[in-house]
């Protein structure tokens, strides 16, 4: 920690124009010392444009980016870049050994050989690639190459680490292992980090806070729990996989308990919206449980409805069940559950979900 009272990074009214068709607009954004900010959004949303601007590789059209309270245009380019380290989706290792790759940024900074060696050995060990140090970069697997790329950045002890989808090309087990290791390393070193991804799972795993960018606009920033549980609008909800977004109207509101009319069916939610308010009723598919109609147990779920199975589709480890309850609901359940329930198309079932699982968005 330093004594600097300013956020590591601050963005004020940033507007970046790229060509005639794309604009990135961010009104306000702060990143504090030691914080890991996961920036998520679909392809083409503007995540990389933001990263380029923060790297001082793309000049804003208007607005300001401040580094520790000083606008970037008042800081020498090289001086600023030597406070940051960039890891890209492609590890982009140089045509030399692992050791020389990791030393690249240190050599740029003119560090002594002994200090270079000390830092490199430390990060070779932390990222478990000691045994690869003399190997040529072209002979590494994707996972090993990305570890080297991370070591090459971390060895610089950056004030701000910028990660641009570094795990995108990795297979699932490698990715999960590396994310977990990186989470621990970032926490141990208190490295302030911006982590760009389009993968919500990765954002949840690494981010202390999550920022959602859609169509060049920063739409929502908050803790992973708050962003995923309470998306700010239907676009964010859709992007975050809240597949059940239904228009409704608040019929009753009493001490935080709300009754919402969704297409003629009364459902319960928790919130502060007033009676008569038009809302979007949002429910994550994994928050829905399904029962065989004759076997509904007593449950704390305030919402229980009958329905009919419309479709069953594969979603990798889970199955997506579409149910007609008078309005369409989508649920995600395990294969084992589908087997136990003997679910099949057209079958009558009961669905249940808690009032607290519902998120209401005013419209």
Partner 1 sequence: MELIWDGIKEAFLLIIRGDPEIWAITWLTLRVSGTATAISLLIGLPIGTWLALRKFTGRGCLFSFINTGMAFPPVVIGLWVSIFLWRSGPLGFLGIIYTPAAMVIAQTIIATPIVVGLTIAALQQLNPYMRMQLLGLGASQFQAILAMWRESRLLLLAALMAGFGSIISEVGASMMVGGNIKDQTRVLTTAIVLETSKGRFTFAIALGFILLLLAYIVNYGLTIFQQRGARNKEIQ
For position 18 contacting partner 1 by CB under 8 A, the verdict is no
For position 176 contacting partner 1 by CB under 8 A, the verdict is no
Considering only residues 294-353, where is the footprint of partner 1 by CB under 8 A? none
Rule CB under 8 A: choose which of 133, 152, 284, 354 binds partner 1.
152
DSSP conformational letter for 177:
H
The beta strands (E) that lie in 130-243 are given as: 160-164, 192-197, 209-214, 217-222
For residues 145 and 88, is the Cβ–Cβ distance under 8 A? no
For position 65 contacting partner 1 by CB under 8 A, the verdict is no
Q: How far is the CB of 56 from partner 1 (least distance, A)?
A: 9
CA dihedral 122, 124, 126, 127 (to 10 degrees): 160
For position 227 contacting partner 1 by CB under 8 A, the verdict is no
β-pairing verdict for 192-197 and 160-164: parallel
Rule CB under 8 A: choose which of 69, 94, 180, 335 binds partner 1.
94
For position 131 contacting partner 1 by CB under 8 A, the verdict is no
For residues 210 and 227, is the Cβ–Cβ distance under 8 A? yes
Residues in contact with 98: Cβ distance below 8 Å, sequence separation at least 6, in sequence order: 124, 129, 132, 133, 134, 135, 136, 137, 140, 148
Please state, in angstroms and rounded to a whole number, the distance separating the CA atoms of residues 149 and 76.
25
For 203-219, give the DSSP string.
Answer: HHHH-SEEEEEETTEEE
For position 130 contacting partner 1 by CB under 8 A, the verdict is no
For position 95 contacting partner 1 by CB under 8 A, the verdict is yes
Name the segment binding partner 1 (CB under 8 A); options: 78-86, 175-183, 195-203, 251-259.
78-86
Q: How far is the CB of 77 from partner 1 (least distance, A)?
A: 8
Rule CB under 8 A: choose which of 156, 186, 203, 349 binds partner 1.
156
Q: For residues 1 and 78, which CB has a smaller minimum distance to partner 1 in the complex?
A: 78
For position 39 contacting partner 1 by CB under 8 A, the verdict is no
For position 144 contacting partner 1 by CB under 8 A, the verdict is no
Q: How far is the CB of 175 from partner 1 (least distance, A)?
A: 20
Give the full edge-to-edge strand order of the sheet including 278-283: 265-270, 257-262, 244-254, 278-283, 358-362
Interface residues toward partner 1, by CB under 8 A? 52, 55, 57, 78, 81-82, 84-86, 88, 90, 92, 94-95, 104-105, 108-109, 134-136, 138-139, 152-153, 156, 162
């Amino acid at each position: 920690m330093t004594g600097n009272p300013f956020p590591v990074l601050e963005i004020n009214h940033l507007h970046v124009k790229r060509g005639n068709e794309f604009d990135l607009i961010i009104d306000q954004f702060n990143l504090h010392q030691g914080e890991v900010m996961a920036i998520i959004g679909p392809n083409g949303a503007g995540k990389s444009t933001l990263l380029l601007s923060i790297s001082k590789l793309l000049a804003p059209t208007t607005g300001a980016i401040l580094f520790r309270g000083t606008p970037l245009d008042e800081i020498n380019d090289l001086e600023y870049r030597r406070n940051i380290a960039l890891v890209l989706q492609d590890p982009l290792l140089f045509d030399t050994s692992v050791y020389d790759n990791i030393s690249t940024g240190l050599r740029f900074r003119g560090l002594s050989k002994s200090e270079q060696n000390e830092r490199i050995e430390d990060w070779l060990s932390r990222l478990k690639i000691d045994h690869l140090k003399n190997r040529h970069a072209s002979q590494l697997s994707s996972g090993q190459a990305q570890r080297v790329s991370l070591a090459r950045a971390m060895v610089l002890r950056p004030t701000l680490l910028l990660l641009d989808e570094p795990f995108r090309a990795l297979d699932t087990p490698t990715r999960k292992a590396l994310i977990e290791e990186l989470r621990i390393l970032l926490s141990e070193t208190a490295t302030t980090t911006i982590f760009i991804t389009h993968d919500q799972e990765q954002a949840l795993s690494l981010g202390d806070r999550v920022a959602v960018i859609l169509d060049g606009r920063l739409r929502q920033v908050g803790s992973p729990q708050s962003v995923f549980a309470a998306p700010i609008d239907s676009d964010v909800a859709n992007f975050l996989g809240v597949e059940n977004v239904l228009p409704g109207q608040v019929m009753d509101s009493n001490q935080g308990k709300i009754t919402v009319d969704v297409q003629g069916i009364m459902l319960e939610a928790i919130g502060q919206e007033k009676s008569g308010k038009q809302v979007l009723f949002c429910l994550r598919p994994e928050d829905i449980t399904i029962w065989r109609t004759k076997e509904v147990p007593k449950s704390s779920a305030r919402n229980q409805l009958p329905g009919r199975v419309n479709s069953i589709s594969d979603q990798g480890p889970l199955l997506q069940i579409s149910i007609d309850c008078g309005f369409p609901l989508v649920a995600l359940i395990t294969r084992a559950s589908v087997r136990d329930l003997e679910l099949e198309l057209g079958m009558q079932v009961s669905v249940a979900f808690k009032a607290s699982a519902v998120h209401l968005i005013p419209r």
